[in-house]
C-alpha cells in the first residue's frame, strides 16, 4: 500500500525499529527489494536519486514501483526523492507521485539551507507530501557533489557533525518532517580508514534539542567483507572498502530516534559480486536472465539481512493499521499521475 513515511516513522520511533530506504535504479533491484520486504512483512521506502531518474527514465521507474504496489498490497511503500537539490526537482517529484521528498541543502550556507528547505516544505506539504532535509556534512560522494576523502573526513569529523542547537533552530524555521544527520557516516564503499564509529553522543544531543523528530542516517551501508572479497576474487578492485558495522546501526534504530536508514552501496556490492561470479565461473554465459536473475536473488538476500538488522520484519500490518486509523489522505497530487 502506497503511503507517506509518517505512519512508518510514528511506529518506528515508538517501537525501536528502523525503516530501510533502498535506492532503486532498475527492475531487478526493485523486484529484489520488494520481494524481501513482502516475505518479511516489512514496510519499505523506495528511493530514487536524480541519477536514477536520468538513468532509468522516471516514467519507467514509476511504473515498476506501481507494479510493486499492485502486486504486494500488504507491503507499506513510500516513494522518496533521494538528495533533491532544487525546488524545480521537488515540484517534479510531487507531480510524479512521490509521497516523500528530500531537499538536500547541506552544502549551502546555513541561511540558504533554511530558505531552500522552507520553500520545499511549502511546496510538498500543500500536496500532503512529507519532507526530509539535511544538516551537517557527510563524507564521500553525494550526487554530483564530491565530498571529502575518508581520511580527512574522519580526522576532522567534529566540524562536519550536525550541531544539536542548530538542528532545533532549523526544525523550527522550516517545519520539516525528518532530518538527515551527519553522525560519522559517508556515502560509498570507503567510509572509514580507522575504527568505524558512529557519534552516538551527537544523536543523543539532537534528540534532546529536537524531541520526537525522526532522524535519518545516510551512508548506512555496512560494506560486508565477504562481498568485497568476492568482487576482488572475481577480477574486481575495491581497495580500502569499509562500512558501518551492522550492530551499530541496530543500536541506532533500537535505542535512538533513527527511523530511516539509507542503503545503496550494499545493494550494488551484492549485485556486482553475483554478476562477476557468474561470468567468472561460466565465461560462455550471455543470456542476461542468467546473470540478472541471480543478481536479483542476491538483492533479496541482502535486503532480508538488512530488515533483520533494522528489526522491521513483521511490522507491515501495524503500519497499515496506523495509516488507516489516522485516515491519512494520500498526497493530493496522486490521482493526477498518469
The gap from C-alpha 331 to its chain's centroid, in whole angstroms, comes to 20
* CA neighbor of 161 nearest in space, from 116, 85, 215, 120: 215
Binding window for ligand 13P (CB under 6 A); candidates: 68-76, 129-137, 152-160, 264-272 = 264-272
Q: What one-character DSSP code corresponds to residue 129?
A: -
Report d(CA 249, CA 20) in Å as an integer.
11
Binding window for ligand G3H (CB under 6 A); candidates: 1-9, 48-56, 61-69, 162-170 = 48-56
* CA neighbor of 37 nearest in space, from 78, 81, 4: 78
The catalytic site residues sit at 82
Report d(CA 15, CA 11) in Å as an integer.
6
Residue 151 engages ligand G3H in binding (rule: CB under 6 A): no
Among 142, 163, 177, 277, binds ligand G3H (CB under 6 A): 142
Q: Which among ligand G3H, Zn ion, ligand 13P, none contacts residue 5 (Cβ within 5 to 8 A by kind)? A: none
Residue 49 engages ligand G3H in binding (rule: CB under 6 A): yes
Report d(CA 238, CA 118) in Å as an integer.
40
- 306 is written with which cell numbers? 538488512
Residue 53 engages ligand G3H in binding (rule: CB under 6 A): no
Q: At what angle do helices 265-281 and 288-310 cross, to 10 degrees?
A: 140
Among 4, 5, 23, 185, binds ligand G3H (CB under 6 A): 23
Report d(CA 124, CA 131) in Å as an integer.
7
In the bound complex, what is the minimum distance in angstroms from residue 109's beta carbon to Zn ion?
20
- 315 is written with which cell numbers? 511490522
- 179 is written with which cell numbers? 532530518
Q: What phi and psi, each to the nearest 5 degrees, are found at residue 239?
A: -80, 150
Among 28, 35, 41, 82, binds ligand 13P (CB under 6 A): 82
In the bound complex, what is the minimum distance in angstroms from residue 335's beta carbon to Zn ion?
30
In the bound complex, what is the minimum distance in angstroms from residue 52's beta carbon to ligand G3H?
5
The nearer residue to Zn ion, 97 or 219, going by C-beta atoms, is 219
What part of residues 217-256 is at the interface with Zn ion (CB under 5 A)? 218
In the bound complex, what is the minimum distance in angstroms from residue 146's beta carbon to ligand G3H?
12
Report d(CA 326, CA 134) in Å as an integer.
27
Among 83, 171, 191, 260, binds ligand G3H (CB under 6 A): 83
In the bound complex, what is the minimum distance in angstroms from residue 135's beta carbon to ligand 13P?
15
**Number of amino acids touching ligand 13P (CB under 6 A):** 14
Residue 38 engages ligand 13P in binding (rule: CB under 6 A): no
Q: How are the residues of the chain apportioned to helix, strand and coil, as percentages rounded to the nearest 5?
A: 50, 15, 35
Report d(CA 266, CA 275) in Å as an integer.
14
Among 10, 15, 39, 51, binds ligand G3H (CB under 6 A): 51
What part of residues 14-33 is at the interface with ligand 13P (CB under 6 A)? 23
Indicate the pairing of strand 130-135 with strand 178-181.
Answer: parallel
Footprint of ligand G3H (CB under 6 A)? 23, 49, 51-52, 82-83, 142-143, 187, 264
Footprint of Zn ion (CB under 5 A)? 218, 262
Amino acid at each position: 500500500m502506497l503511503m507517506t513515511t509518517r505512519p512508518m516513522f510514528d511506529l518506528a520511533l515508538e517501537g525501536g525499529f528502523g525503516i530501510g530506504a533502498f535506492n532503486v535504479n532498475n527492475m531487478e533491484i526493485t523486484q529484489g527489494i520488494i520481494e524481501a520486504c513482502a516475505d518479511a512483512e516489512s514496510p519499505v521506502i523506495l528511493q530514487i536519486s536524480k541519477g536514477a531518474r536520468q538513468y532509468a527514465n522516471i516514467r519507467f521507474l514509476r511504473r515498476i514501483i506501481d507494479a510493486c504496489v499492485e502486486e504486494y498490497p500488504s507491503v507499506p511503500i513510500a516513494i522518496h526523492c533521494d538528495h533533491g537539490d532544487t525546488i524545480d526537482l521537488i515540484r517534479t517529484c510531487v507531480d510524479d507521485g512521490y509521497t516523500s521528498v528530500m531537499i538536500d541543502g547541506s552544502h549551502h550556507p546555513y541561511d540558504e539551507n533554511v530558505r531552500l528547505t522552507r520553500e520545499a516544505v511549502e511546496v510538498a506539504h500543500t500536496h500532503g507530501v512529507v519532507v526530509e532535509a539535511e544538516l551537517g556534512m557527510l563524507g564521500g560522494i553525494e550526487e554530483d557533489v564530491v565530498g571529502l576523502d575518508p581520511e580527512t573526513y574522519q580526522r576532522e569529523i567534529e566540524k562536519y557533525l550536525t550541531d544539536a542547537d542548530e538542528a532545533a533552530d532549523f526544525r523550527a524555521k522550516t517545519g520539516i518532517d525528518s532530518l538527515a544527520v551527519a553522525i560519522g557516516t559517508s556515502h560509498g564503499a570507503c567510509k572509514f580508514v580507522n575504527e568505524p564509529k558512529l557519534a552516538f553522543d551527537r544523536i543523543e544531543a539532537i534528540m534532546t534539542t529536537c524531541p520526537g523528530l525522526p532522524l535519518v542516517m545516510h551512508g548506512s551501508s555496512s560494506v560486508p567483507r565477504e562481498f568485497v572479497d568476492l568482487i576482488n576474487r572475481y577480477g574486481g578492485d575495491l581497495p580500502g572498502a569499509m562500512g558501518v558495522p551492522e550492530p551499530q546501526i541496530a543500536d541506532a534504530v533500537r535505542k535512538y530516534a533513527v527511523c530511516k536508514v539509507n542503503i545503496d552501496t550494499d545493494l550494488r556490492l551484492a549485485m556486482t559480486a553475483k554478476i562477476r561470479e557468474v561470468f567468472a565461473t561460466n565465461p560462455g554465459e550471455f543470456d542476461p536472465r542468467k546473470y540478472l536473475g541471480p543478481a536479483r536473488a542476491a538483492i533479496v538476500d541482502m535486503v532480508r539481512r538488512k530488515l533483520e538488522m533494522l528489526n522491521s520484519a513483521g511490522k507491515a500490518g501495524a503500519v497499515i493499521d496506523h495509516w488507516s486509523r489516522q485516515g491519512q489522505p494520500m498526497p493530493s497530487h496522486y490521482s493526477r499521475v498518469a
